[in-house]
């Protein structure tokens, strides 16, 4: 696991955008795995400005998002589908049929999960997967004690994640869906050729320390990344403040 400590959030965004940009420049039909949440918003802004500057072409790129709330239609303002269009897709030249996000309002949710997993397999896996991390160590919506063998499936959100995500629902946790579809840990580990995990802010400091330096345990789902052979963690100083090994700095 390579750990890069950025001086501030803007640098984190620039470093992660550069990884994606260089990858897409070298492989025009790259498959990218994307995340939602606050952390990657600046990365997406940077990619939009790189696109506007003519430095990156998304016309042949395929994307797969990590997760989506169950029960929300793609057009629902709090759906991850809506989020991705607002923060990235509507500003760049992605082909709509190259964009994949689980359909949260599919009445056949289990079938949706299986089809999604198959689509990633058929695409040949994911070249670069962007991950955020929950304060409880989750990746995607794989909450603590998720099985490391899990594939894309329906998951129950933990209480702490419901509270953390209430800010996207006008601050009201009651409005946060209780279920979601998420790529499983096995899906992420097996299908991602390269993983870039982003973390910003001191509320992520414990999770980053446990992920990188603690035991590999389902109590901290992200700790499994210690067993992946190509992971780059990009953390700002606040998120990195509890790391013990000075060699990262
Ligand atoms: C979102 C996702 C989540 C977030 C995590 C951190 O697609 O998969 O694991 O990455 O909850 O969210 P933020 O960035 O809002 O702190």
Stated length of the chain: 249
Ligand 1 pocket check for 37: Cβ under 6 Å: yes
Round to whole Å and give the CA distance between 182 and 116: 10
Quote the ligand 1 centre to 199 CA distance (angstroms).
9
Claim: this prediction has a pTM higher than 0.95:
yes
Assess whether pLDDT exceeds 60 at residue 247: no
Assess whether pLDDT exceeds 60 at residue 108: yes
Element (H, E) at 50: helix 41-52
- Residues 195-211 have a mean pLDDT of 98
Round to whole Å and give the CA distance between 158 and 109: 19
Q: Minimal CA–CA distance to 102: which of 190, 204, 201, 184?
A: 184
Assess whether pLDDT exceeds 90 at residue 115: yes
Ligand 1 pocket check for 140: Cβ under 6 Å: yes
Look at residue 246 in the predicted model and tell me its pLDDT.
Answer: 56
Assess whether pLDDT exceeds 90 at residue 249: no
Nearest-CA residue for ligand 1 atom 4 is 132
Instruction: Tell me the longest C-alpha to C-alpha distance in the chain.
Output: 50
Helix axes 41-52, 9-26, angle to 10 degrees: 50
Look at residue 245 in the predicted model and tell me its pLDDT.
Answer: 75
Look at residue 248 in the predicted model and tell me its pLDDT.
Answer: 60
């Amino acid at each position: 696991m390579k750990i890069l400590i950025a001086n501030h959030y803007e640098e984190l965004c620039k470093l992660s955008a550069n990884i994606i940009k260089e990858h897409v420049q070298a492989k025009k039909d790259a498959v990218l795995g994307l995340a939602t949440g606050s952390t990657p918003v600046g990365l997406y802004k940077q990619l939009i400005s790189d696109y506007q500057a003519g430095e990156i072409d998304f016309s042949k790129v395929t994307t797969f998002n990590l997760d989506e709330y169950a029960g929300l239609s793609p057009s629902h303002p709090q759906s991850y589908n809506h989020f991705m269009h607002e923060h990235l897709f509507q500003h760049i030249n992605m082909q709509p049929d190259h964009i994949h996000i689980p359909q949260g309002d599919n009445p056949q949710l289990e079938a949706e999960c299986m089809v999604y997993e198959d689509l990633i397999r058929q695409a040949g896996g994911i070249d670069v997967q962007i991950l955020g991390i929950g304060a409880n160590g989750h990746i995607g919506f794989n909450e603590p004690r998720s099985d490391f063998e899990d594939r894309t499936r329906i998951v129950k959100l933990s209480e702490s994640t419901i509270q953390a995500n209430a800010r996207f629902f006008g601050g009201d946790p009651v409005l946060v869906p209780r279920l979601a579809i998420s790529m499983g840990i096995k899906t992420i580990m097996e299908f991602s050729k390269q993983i870039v995990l982003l973390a910003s802010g001191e509320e992520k400091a414990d999770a980053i320390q446990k992920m990188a330096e603690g035991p590999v345990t389902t109590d901290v789902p992200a700790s499994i990344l210690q067993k992946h052979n190509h992971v780059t963690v990009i953390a700002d100083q606040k998120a990195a403040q509890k790391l013990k090994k000075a060699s990262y700095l």
